[in-house]
Amino acid sequence: MDPLIFTNNQITSFLCLCSLIIPFLSLIEAQASLCRTTCGDIPINYPFGIDDGCGSPYYRHMLVCSDLGKLQLRTPSGRYPVHSISYSDPHILVTDPLMWNCQDGDNFRPTRPFSLDTSTPFTLSSQNDYLFFNCSEDYVIVEPKPIFCERFPDRCDSSCDSASYLCRHLPECASALSSSSCCSYYPKATESLRLMLRYCASYTSVYWKSVGSITDSPYSQVPEYGIRVDFDVPVTTHCLQCQDPSKGAGTCGFDTQTHNFLCLCKEGNVTSYCKGHDISRHKRAGVIAGTVAGVSAAGVIGIGVGVWALKKVRAKAPVTCGVQSNENRIF
């Protein structure tokens, strides 16, 4: 049998064919690898996703999982380590390494105001309290709040309470401050927080952690350092059907180009639920970005040789990838 001899144009056409086949095979492999469900020891469930196309598009790119398995929350003011996520009482607990902590004592480091993008479904929890240290009384009203509010009820919200419970009982380190002043103030906007930090040496955030039921009040909450960020869970009928074990137990996701809902299944992606659907009809490129799938080079070459063995192409004009003509038509 005569060996197959390929012209330069035929080789070029073969390479063009491979460029089309490889992404297709990679797509099949990528869709068999669903979204990661953990980052370190923190569970990643709907509405969040750390792989693009997973979870809800409203939280796209909000969470980042580092190569070391450390989860971070992205905000306009930076990236912050995530301490934990609660899905039953929807909130994220983050820490800011630049905020004051017990080890700092009276030594205050430069810090930055924490902020959230108001266009996202994230909100700062009302369970946060903020402590400011060594504020200039020329610019900040530093007084015991009850006394000040009695004298100036119309300006009550503008005072920084120097007699607050948290200033008198700093969590984990009641005697950390020896010569510095402390006051408690809840900034209603990022701008007011920036103004406070212009005239205060530093600040920290304390959230109230629930440790018991409501009937245990007033001992059902304890203060801890950190920032509580609340979030909404946008549950839809499509997502509930997708996650239903009787319908295939898929993973809720979305098309990264259109943001339309997709149910991610082991065999591919569908627009409703996994079980009993022709999944191959709904395969879409770019749904789970960043997934690397290995493809056998020998398999691709085998496909290419098979195609050429079925029909040799006699190209009389230069072949251009993506341009279909009578000269370079494969089938």
Q: Is the pLDDT of residue 270 over 90?
A: no
Q: pLDDT tens across 3-22, in order? A: 555 555 555 555 544 444 44
pLDDT for 87 equals 95
pLDDT for 20 equals 45
40 or 300, higher pLDDT = 40
Contacts with 150 (C-beta within 8 Å, 6 or more apart), sequence order: none
Q: pLDDT tens across 272-286, in order? A: 888 875 554 444 434
109, 202 contact by CB (below 8 A): yes
Q: What is the mean pLDDT of the chain?
A: 78
pTM: 0.71
223, 208 contact by CB (below 8 A): yes
Nearest to 128 by CA among 225, 57, 60: 225
Lowest mean pLDDT among 139-153, 208-222, 313-327: 313-327
Task: Considering only the C-alpha atoms of the chain, give the largest distance between any 2 of them, rounded to a whole number of Å.
Answer: 105
Q: Is the pLDDT of residue 323 over 50?
A: no
Contacts with 258 (C-beta within 8 Å, 6 or more apart), sequence order: none
Kindly report the backbone phi and psi dihedral angles of residue 208, in degrees, each rounded to the nearest multiple of 5, phi listed first: -100, 110
Strands (E) in the chain, as ranges, are 38-39, 42-43, 63-65, 71-75, 78-86, 91-94, 123-124, 128-133, 142-143, 160-161, 182-184, 202-210, 221-225, 227-230, 251-254, 261-265, 268-270
Reading the block at residue 88, the tokens are 């039953």
Q: What is the average per-residue pLDDT within 303-307?
A: 41
pLDDT for 189 equals 81
Contacts with 39 (C-beta within 8 Å, 6 or more apart), sequence order: 50, 63, 65, 69, 70, 71
Q: pLDDT tens across 239-261, in order? A: 999 999 998 889 999 999 999 99
Q: pLDDT tens across 121-172, in order? A: 999 998 999 999 999 999 999 999 999 999 999 999 899 999 999 999 999 9
73, 229 contact by CB (below 8 A): yes
Task: Count CB-CB contacts under 10 A for residue 35.
Answer: 21
Q: pLDDT tens across 19-41, in order? A: 444 444 444 344 435 799 999 99
Whether a cis peptide bond, with omega within 30° of 0, leads into 90 is no
Q: Is the pLDDT of residue 58 over 90?
A: yes
Label residue 55 left, alpha or beta by phi (over 0 means left) and psi (-120 to 50 means alpha).
Answer: left
- Rounded CA-CA distance 161/149 in Å is 10
* Percent with pLDDT over 70 in the chain: 71
- Rounded CA-CA distance 248/265 in Å is 8
- Rounded CA-CA distance 91/227 in Å is 10
pLDDT for 311 equals 41
Q: pLDDT tens across 225-242, in order? A: 999 999 999 888 999 999
Q: Is the pLDDT of residue 308 over 60?
A: no
Alpha helix (H) residue ranges in the chain: 8-31, 145-151, 165-168, 190-199, 237-243, 297-310
pLDDT for 42 equals 96
Which residue in this structure is represented by tokens 């789970």?
A: 288
pLDDT confidence of 316, banded at 50, 70, 90?
A: very low
